[in-house]
Structure 1
Amino acid sequence: MPPTPAQVAALAAQLVALRDGALALEQRFGDELAAIAPQQRASARNLLHYLSVRRHDIRALQQDLSALGLSSLGVLEPHALASLNAVIGVLAQLQDAAPGGGHPPLPPPPVDFRSGPQRLREHALALLGPEPQGRLVRIMVTMPSEAATDAQLVQDLLDAGMDVMRINCAHDGPAEWAAMVENLRRAEQSRGRSCRVAMDLAGPKLRTGALRASGRVQRLAPQRDCFGRLTRPGRVWLTPAEAAEPRPPGLRLRLEISGGLLGQLAMGDQLEFTDARGQEHRLLVREARGASWVAEIEQTAYVEEATRVTARRDGETVGSGAFINVPEVIEPIALAVGELLILTRCDAPGQGAERAADGTVVTPAQVHCTLATAFEFARPGHTVWFDDGKIGGVVAANDGERITVSITQTGPKGARLRAEKGINFPDTPLAMSALTDKDLADLPAIVRLADMVQLSFVREPQDLAQLHAELDRLGAQRMGVVLKIENRRAFENLPRLLLASLHRPPVGVMIARGDLAVEVGFERLSEVQQEILWLCEAAHVPVIWATQILEGMAKTGAPSRAEVSDAGMSIMAECAMLNKGPRIVETVRFLAGIIDRMDEHYRKQRATLRRLAVADLED
């Protein structure tokens, strides 16, 4: 049955209220809009209109509009006011009244159904470079250190479909970064393709510190079959401690011997020693290579630092020496639910818990936390996560020098925490700058080499303002900036960060799903990343979909089904980022194929519009 006049009037009133609310929010942010770059002001206005609508739950309204065969506002993001105007106009015709039900005519929307999506496409072009042939989504690839010396690797990545080279400034240094870019520029010239360079600021490191070494020991072991029978002796590289030679390919085990003993050896000699367990062992000398020898062992031995070794030939002693510079053994910290872990401000090596004979903990485990700010703001009850969410805990106490964490989550058999693992305090308001002294020192090299700089651990608009000021000082006003959304505070501040970013284009947003999942909770990641995509589309800001895309394939060459499905979802963004791995070239080619096929089916996903808490700019 056709709708009654009362039903049409009720729908029109709801839409007019949404429209008026959008215009009112724009007026309240007039000063902010005036400070935004003129060419970006329409996008900022559209973002404000969209945020106003998303402060409401309009799912029932969408259903009613759909029942009338009208637009349900499911494609609102790139042209919010134009969408509202269009539906209000149709309802006005149904009422046989002036558009808006007698309200004064609207000012024209900042963007329409054509110009809104076109702005996003143009902004992606400005930041990420030309669209690759056959697909809309670019592919960004993180460079391994080898890219500085292996020009063929860079060329192969470009041939496979790399559109943006990402250099992580937490690794290597300016000389290596320059070599990577030089290899890329040569590859571009030879292939007739262009590729942008993105350099990722290291940002403040929140990680576990070093762990105390348990001692120095080298395990020597042969190969055995499933029945424990010897199939191949263990091959050991023996090299003089006074002039050690590099281990050749194919030899995993290495020991240095002092005292000039190796110069006295001949093929077939035996090296006798007592290992860490008090067991007698022999190494059979097989092959000379330079000043070093290859020897074999048929029984598993544990060689300690300064272990004495005696060479014998036909039962006679040839000489003696000692194994030195044996590698340190660093045991990870074993943790179980209910135990305590002490985070220390003091940069001393960490260690596992000391236990009594019955296994009870006498002294809790402890490890250094690299970010001093955590000791100022962490409070009892705040959640703490370690190693990408593998270990969880709650702050039990904090005296400013030591944070006591009660472990609440591990794997079923406990967990093992190693050095240099990430720490997340999602509940703790860490007052710190996103730019560190290292970042400031790296920026001069970055502005010479890169097309865009990626701001890590951004939390507040002030972080972006500081970066803009530094780029101005370096004369890099046109440098692209990518905001990495990798913590809860950045997500909660995203509307304000987007408005601040539009002060100076070009700009993009990276959804750093690894840390973000830990910060907001793994169960909320899908919801949160979708909200980020919506807000960025409303601001006409291109998005980089990052972290663990086809990670298994990059490492082993074989993707899982879940990885392939996840990679297909990257077409919701303007760029997908792959991390480094031994099979990265094949992975780039594989991802390009997925994106090419998925682009033929749909572009961006659409959904019903419940209220978004993050849309409340004025709270």
Structure 2
Amino acid sequence: MDLAGAKLRTAGLPPGPSILRINPFRDDSGRVLMPASVWLTPQEQPQPAPANSASTLVSLALPAAWLRGLQANNPVRFRDRRGRKRKLRVLSISEQGCWAELRKTAYLAPDTLFWSPAGEAMLQRIPRLEAFLLLRPGDVLQLNRYPGALDSTGTQAAIGCTMPELLDHVKLGERVWFDDGKIGGVVEQVEPDALLVRITQARAKGEKLRNDKGINLPDSLLPLPALTPKDQEDLAFIAQHADMVGLSFASRPQDVELLQQRLAQLTERPIPFIIKVETQRGFEQLPAILLTAMRAPGFGVMIARGDLAVECGFERLAEVQEEILWLCEAAHVPVIWATQVLESLASGGLPSRAEITDAAMGNRAECVMLNKGPRVVQAVETLDGIFRRMQGHQHKKSAMLRSLHVAQMLPEPESTPL
């Protein structure tokens, strides 16, 4: 089980509107290749859609009595949010709900009214869209102590944060990174209730910043607690049930000592722990942290490369993770290689060449962590295949220099008469 730690995050953007866009799958010319599949389910007891191979799937909750009056091939007509006339065609009916298809793009709102031979029904619930700010290089972002998407004039992008007291320790000219380094900026002005951040790093077409995204302040000396009140509360449950506990944002030996003390107060059972190295300060203090942790019966280290890359700089990540591996090897401490390993594959796409090379480097650690995703099983199988090949060539830091198959394929040298 993992302790969340003191993580500074964005907050305060109000939710977006309750609008649902449904659109069929089209080719580059705009022709419909496949209609959108719509699952109609009773709003009193919504049921998940059965397995379906359609490219576009939307679920709508409508009154059960109205759904029971539908029949296959019935047209269901409605006007969408823009006032456009649209039509659903019922394909099949079951006790759990109905399948229908839509061949034109439509925008639905909670008050959308549907007509069919069975009568009319109104859509009641649609999830609100997630709000975001679109930030480009050169923009100014107001990082507020208090929630709010815009300033009083409504002209400047602004967002709040979860730990406003930390803004007292940020100075002019210091760097600020958002969302694992996707957006970066420099503090241009310090005000009593906000920081004005000039965006310097983002895609030219803009990068979206949402609520609950991480904020990194690598140049600022922040008095972050080793265990937050939420961590202290969670430890009581962890002590009862966990086989292992992760200490997030460990930055000094005292953090490890505090965790050990709290665990000893809560249980007599020895619980191994994982020290997650994800800040520049934690990396710099790692030798002292390791010496302190060695008093425990069992522990390991995680190279949490998401925050670590932002804190130390992406160009230094390879060097930093190499030093962590060497330190832990010298201390006989197992290492977890973590963050974005084969992420493109796990999330449903194809791995890049860089990701395959990165995954192969993970063979130098004792354990590799994969993130969740619809194709995570295939990612595990791919990682297993990579490791089985790499283990014949290298054991942790030592190259094996084994006999190569390609060397055996060289032609025999011709004999030269004396």
| TM-score normalised by structure 1 residue count | 0.58
Matched, 1:200 2:7: no
Q: Letter of the 1:205 partner, please give it.
A: K
Q: Label 1:519 to 1:273 Cα distance change in 2 as closer, same or farther (>3 A).
A: same
Equivalent residue for 1:216, pick from 15, 18, 21? 18
Partner of 2:409: none
1:447–1:476 Cα contact (<8 Å) kept: no
Equivalent residue for 2:303, pick from 503, 511, 517? 511
Counterparts of 2:16 and 2:27, CA distance in 1: 30
Q: Letter of the 2:361 partner, please give it.
A: M
Matched, 1:238 2:40: yes
* 1:210 CA drift (Å): 5.4
Partner of 2:129: 329
* 1:331 CA drift (Å): 4.0
Q: Label 1:575 to 1:290 Cα distance change in 2 as closer, same or farther (>3 A).
A: closer
1:392–1:410 Cα contact (<8 Å) kept: yes
Partner of 2:86: 281
Counterparts of 2:7 and 2:372, CA distance in 1: 20
2:12–2:161 Cα contact (<8 Å) kept: no
Matched, 1:397 2:202: no
Matched, 1:486 2:291: no
Counterparts of 1:466 and 1:331, CA distance in 2: 38
Q: Letter of the 1:325 partner, please give it.
A: R
Matches within 5 A, 1:130-149: none
Matches within 5 A, 1:1-400: 199-209=1-11, 211-250=13-52, 252-257=57-62, 261-290=66-95, 292-311=97-116, 313=117, 319-346=119-146, 348=147, 351=149, 362-400=154-192
* 1:336 CA drift (Å): 1.0
Counterparts of 2:128 and 2:321, CA distance in 1: 42
1:332–1:352 Cα contact (<8 Å) kept: no
Deviations 1:571-616 (A, max 9, x none): 433333333333333433443443344344344448xxxxxxxxxx
Counterparts of 1:229 and 1:273, CA distance in 2: 22
Deviations 1:211-260 (A, max 9, x none): 32331122222333343233343332233434444333327212233595
Larger Rg: 1
1:426–1:520 Cα contact (<8 Å) kept: yes
Matches within 5 A, 1:546-557: 546-556=338-348
State the secondary structure of the residue aligned to 1:324. coil
Partner of 2:357: 565
Q: In structure 1, list runs of 5 or more residues that go unmatched.
A: 1-198, 355-360, 607-619
1:544–1:575 Cα contact (<8 Å) kept: yes
* 1:341 CA drift (Å): 1.6
Higher strand share: 2
State the secondary structure of the residue aligned to 2:11. coil
Counterparts of 1:476 and 1:310, CA distance in 2: 66
Q: Label 1:430 to 1:477 Cα distance change in 2 as closer, same or farther (>3 A).
A: farther
Counterparts of 1:467 and 1:232, CA distance in 2: 55
2:325–2:335 Cα contact (<8 Å) kept: yes
Partner of 1:523: 315
Identical aligned residues as a percent: 46
Q: Give runs of ≥4 in structure 1 deviating > 6 Å.
A: none
Matches within 5 A, 1:571-590: 571-590=363-382
State the secondary structure of the residue aligned to 1:200. coil
Matched, 1:465 2:257: yes
State the secondary structure of the residue aligned to 1:329. coil
Counterparts of 2:108 and 2:202, CA distance in 1: 33
* 1:267 CA drift (Å): 4.1
CA RMSD of aligned residues (A): 2.8
Q: Which moved more, 1:512-521 or 1:444-453?
A: 444-453
Higher helix share: 1
Q: Letter of the 1:206 partner, please give it.
A: L
RCO higher in 1 or 2 (8 Å CA, sep ≥ 6)? 1
Counterparts of 1:484 and 1:427, CA distance in 2: 20
State the secondary structure of the residue aligned to 2:341. coil
Number of residue equivalences: 395
Counterparts of 1:353 and 1:287, CA distance in 2: 51
